[in-house]
Amino acid sequence: MTITLNRTDAGNAINIPFAKELFEAALSATHDSEVDVVVIQGSGKAFSFGGDLKSFSDAGDKIDSSLKEVTTYLHNATSLLARMKKVVIASVNGTAAGAGLSLLCACDLVISSDKAKFTSAYTNVGLTPDGSCTYFLPRLIGLRKTQELLYTNRVLSAQEAADWGIVTQVVAANELQQKTKELADKIANGSTSANGTTKKLLSSSFLDRLDSHMALESDSISDMTVTADGKEGIAAFLEKRRPNFSN
């Protein structure tokens, strides 16, 4: 499934209808058994500029409740993307700022155009981060680098973002669509059940102690051996052929 952030005239900035539609798309992807991989991309020249400050300002005295409604939808969408069994790929064509940066941090893989830029930008306008930014960034890049990004609003190039650990792969801008498709196809042709269980193990690793987490690993790999994908994967390896996973 491809989810396209499509408010081109506003840099794909997030307002209430946008956040609600993102939640609905994430919910659909979660429960659609035909979906093995989710790709999130931006339309136009940006991935997402983050929150739509104009729409927030237009709410007047209700700006605080407007922000609460936006973040409720956004955070539920983010939670679904982070917890679903499908691998989520962010394909970043241009600037990812504020909640746009937060959104891609919640994804499993990030492939970026070499023209893209990354920045927090929240404190520049007197606001604090949302969209999972303060949860995922310290885990991805460490506390010190996160502090630098959030307090100084430093703008990272695509290569800097890759060097820091925010981006998985940087490609030429004119190759982004094709490289994204190749990556998505590669994962979709793999075992969705194995990938989904691996994703769950990675998420829980930050909460577990070593022994209890290795117990989860032991249970997971043991359980996988009796699944259709586990049996097919082992058989294919022994028979020196490509596996045909059922997903």
The three-state (H, E, C) secondary structure of 66-123, written as one string: HHHHHHHHHHHHHHHHHHCCCEEEEEECCEEECHHHHHHHCCCEEEEECCCEEECCCH
Q: What is the pLDDT of residue 64?
A: 93
Check: CB of residue 113 under 8 Å from CB of residue 93.
yes
Flag whether the pTM goes above 0.85. yes
Which one, of 60, 80, 69, lies nearest residue 17 by Cα?
A: 69
The residue out of 163, 188, 213 marking a domain boundary is: 188
Tokens at 234, concatenated: 């082992």
Residue numbers of the chain with a pLDDT score lower than 50: none
161, 228: one domain = no
Q: What is the pLDDT of residue 247?
A: 65
Q: Is 247 inside a domain boundary?
A: no
79, 198: one domain = no
Q: Is 246 inside a domain boundary?
A: no
CA within 13 Å, CB half, 178: 5
